[in-house]
Structure 1
Amino acid sequence: MEVNCAGCAGCCIDWRGLLQPEANGGSDSPRTDGTAAPDGDDALTTTRQRGSLGTDDGSRRASIDDVANFVPLTREEVRAFLEAGYAAALTPRFWRVRDEHEAVTVDGYDLAAVADRPAFFVGLRKPPKPVTPFELEEPVWLPACVFLDPTTLQCRIHDDDLFPAECGAYPAHNLALEAETECERVEAAFGGERLLEADVEDEPVDLLLGSQAIGEKLFCHPEPDRLEGVIDRLARGEATREDRATCLAVAAASSPGTLAISEHHREQARERALEAASKTNDDAWVGPTIREWHRRRVQTDGTPSPTVASAVEEARGAPETPGWDDLE
C-alpha cells in the first residue's frame, strides 16, 4: 500500500462542504464557500469513514452527529489519551436505528444497542479550521481533526505513541473490505493521484469486526438513563465536557469481548477526563484551541490564512509538524 498524502488530508477533514451537486443530478464539483453539502451523500460513506454500523442486509445506521471521517479508537487508546491529559480531544459517537426492537430510546432517538445498552465509538473531535487542501487557491473553513496542523496539513501526533492505530492503518482497512477509500474520493473530485498502490497483502490488518469489537472498539453504556440530555446535546454539537467524560469513562473501563465494566476504573477515568480540562500545562492546549477555532469561525469575517494556526495552536503548546520538504 502506498499513498500520496502531501497537500491532501482528505481523511482528516470533513470536505463535503466543497461539493456542489450539479443540476443534472450527476457528478459533484468543488465549491469553496465552506457551506455544507446536502445530507445523504452516500459517496462519502463507508464503514470506517462515517462510523456507521452495517446490518445483515447491508443497510447503514446513521450516526446522530453526522461527522465525516470519524476514527474509532480502542480502549487502550482512550486510556492513553486520558492519561496524557487529552480528554478534550475525544468525543463519543452513537447511531440511530430504524428497527425499534433493537434500539434503546434516549432523548427521542432510537439508538443502536447491544443487550439494551446504547453502543458507541470514541473518536477525535473536528473543530472548524482554515485549510487549503487539494490545491485550493483560497483557504476555507472545514471541520478538521483536532490534531491536524492547518498550515502543513500534517498530524501533530504522527510520530507520537498516541497516534491512533486506525490512522496508521488507513486506508488498508477500507482496501481489505473492498470499500472505497478517501484517497479515491479525492481523486474523483479533485484529480491527482493519491492511492498509488492498493496491494494490502503484506499489510497488518486488524479490523475488530463483530463480537471482537465489543469492549475493545465498540463500547456499550450500562445505564441509558444517565444519557438523558447527553444524546440530544451530542446530536446538536453542543456536548459538554461532562457529557463526554461520562462516555469516555465507560470506554476506558470496558473489558474486551464482554459487556463488563470496572466501576473503579470508570470513576477514575471520569475524574481524569474532568481534571484534564482544568490543567494549565502544555498538554492542555487542545481544549483552548478548539474553543478559539469556534470563536474565530463565528466572529471572523472571511477565512484567514492557515498560518494563523501558529498563534492559535502552537502558541498554546501544540507540537509542530515538519512540513513536506524534508519528507520527499
Structure 2
Amino acid sequence: MEVNCEGCAGCCLDWRRLLEDRTYDRARGSIRDGDGNRDPIDDDPNFVALTRETVRTYLDQGVADALTPRFWDARDEREGVEIDGRQVAAVAGRPVFFVGLRKPPKPVAPFGREEPSWLPACVFLDPTTLQCRVHGGALFPQECGAYPAHTLTLEATTECGRVEETFGGDRLLDVSVTKDLDGLVLGNAAIGEKLFCHPQPAALEGTIERLASGTTTAEDRAETIAVAAASSPGTVAISDHHYERARERALETVNGGSPGEDDRDSRRESWIGPAIAEWQQRRANADEPVPSPRVAADVEVARGAPETPGWDALDDE
C-alpha cells in the first residue's frame, strides 16, 4: 500500500463544506449490518476510533483533552436506551461509544487551494504543512498508521479515492494490502477494546444533546474517556477503581493538575485545550478574514505543540 499525502490531509479533516453540493453523507460514520444503519450522533465523517490502550496512553501523557466520544442513534427502541429524548444504540442496556480525536476549526488550504478555509481538522494536524504533529510517536493512533489498509480490506471507499474523484490527482498509489492487519478489531472482539459500553445511561443526560450540537464539555469528555480506560476486552464490565482514577486524570489535564501533587505526577494543562479554545474563538469572529495557516505557530507551537518537518525534509530522506 502506498499513498500520496502531500497537500492533502483529506482523512484528517472534514472537507465537505468545500463542495458546492452541501448534502452531507452521515452514513460514512454509521454502524452497518444486514438490518440497516445506525447513524452517528456527531457529524464527523472521518472519526478515528482509538483502542483502550491508546486512550490510557493519552491519559498518562496528559493530553486527554484531545479526545472526544462518538455515540450512535439506535434503529429502534428495542436496541436503544433513551437519553436526552433520543434512542441511543446500546448493548445490554449500556450505551456504546467510540473514543476518537477532536476536530476544532482550523484555517487550511488542502488539495492545491490557494486560499485557506475554516474546516474541522484533527487536533494534531499542522495547518501549515498539512502533516501530523504526532506522526510516528507514542500518541500516533494505530488506526491512522494503518489507513487506508483497513478501509480497503473492508472493501469500503477510502478518503483517498474521494479526494481523487473530487479534486483530481493521484492519492492512492498502491492498493495492495497485507493479510496481517494489526488493529482491525470487529464484532464482539471490539467490545471493551475499541467499542465501549457505558454502565450508567443516566450519567450521560445532557452529554448526548451537547454531542449532537458540537458543544460537549470537559466533564462530558472526561466521563466517557474514564469508562473507556476502565474497560476490559471482551466484556461490558468496567473497573470502578480505574474509572475514578482515569476521570480524575482527564479533568486534571484541563485544570492543570491537582494542588499538593508531586511534580512528577502532576497533570499540567496541555497545549491542546487552550489551542482548541483559541481556534474556536477565531472561527467565531466570522467578520474577520480567514487567517493564514501560518498563524498555527502562535496558536499551537507557541503553546508547546510539536513542529512538523515539512514535505521537502521528507523528500530529502
Smaller-chain TM-score range? over 0.9
**Quick one: which amino acid aligns to residue 226 of structure 2?**
A
**Quick one: which amino acid aligns to residue 14 of structure 1?**
D
Aligned-partner Cα distance in 1 for 2:50–2:26: 24
Q: Which runs of 4+ in 1 moved over 3 A?
A: 39-42, 280-283
Quote the residue 1:298 is aligned against.
Answer: 284
Quote the residue 1:75 is aligned against.
Answer: 52
Quote the residue 2:6 is aligned against.
Answer: 6
Quote the residue 2:120 is aligned against.
Answer: 143
Q: Shift of the alpha carbon at 1:56?
A: 2.1
Give per-residue Cα distances to partners, 1:232-287, cap 9 Å, x unaligned. Answer: 11111111101111111000000000111000000000000001112288861000
Quote the residue 1:257 is aligned against.
Answer: 234
**Quick one: which amino acid aligns to residue 290 of structure 1?**
I
Q: Percent identity?
A: 63
Quote the residue 1:38 is aligned against.
Answer: 23
**Quick one: which amino acid aligns to residue 4 of structure 2?**
N
Give per-residue Cα distances to partners, 1:155-188, cap 9 Å, x unaligned. Answer: 0000211100000000000000111100000000
**Quick one: which amino acid aligns to residue 201 of structure 2?**
P
Quote the residue 2:298 is aligned against.
Answer: 311
Aligned-partner Cα distance in 1 for 2:97–2:169: 35
Aligned-partner Cα distance in 2 for 1:216–1:98: 23
Q: From 298, 314, 317, give the equivalent of 1:327.
A: 314
Pick which of 221-230 and 294-303 moved more. Answer: 294-303
Aligned-partner Cα distance in 1 for 2:26–2:80: 24
Aligned 8 A contact 1:128 1:294 in 2: yes
Pick which of 313-322 and 272-281 moved more. Answer: 272-281
**Quick one: which amino acid aligns to residue 277 of structure 2?**
R
Give per-residue Cα distances to partners, 1:174-223, cap 9 Å, x unaligned. Answer: 00011110000000000000000000035534321000000000000000
Aligned 8 A contact 1:84 1:283 in 2: no
Pick which of 271-280 and 174-183 moved more. Answer: 271-280
Quote the residue 1:156 is aligned against.
Answer: 133
Aligned-partner Cα distance in 2 for 1:200–1:108: 43
**Quick one: which amino acid aligns to residue 167 of structure 1?**
C
Aligned-partner Cα distance in 2 for 1:83–1:41: 33
Aligned-partner Cα distance in 1 for 2:101–2:247: 17
Quote the residue 2:250 is aligned against.
Answer: 273
Aligned-partner Cα distance in 2 for 1:101–1:38: 30
How do 1:68-217 residues align onto structure 2 when only pairs under 5 Å count?
Answer: 68-201=45-178, 204-217=181-194
Aligned-partner Cα distance in 2 for 1:275–1:285: 13
Quote the residue 2:261 is aligned against.
Answer: none
Aligned 8 A contact 1:283 1:317 in 2: no
**Equivalent residues, number:** 305
Aligned-partner Cα distance in 1 for 2:156–2:43: 19
Quote the residue 1:25 is aligned against.
Answer: none
Q: TM-score, normalization: structure 2? A: 0.93
**Quick one: which amino acid aligns to residue 5 of structure 2?**
C
Q: Shift of the alpha carbon at 1:41?
A: 6.0
Aligned-partner Cα distance in 2 for 1:262–1:310: 41
Aligned-partner Cα distance in 2 for 1:139–1:15: 12
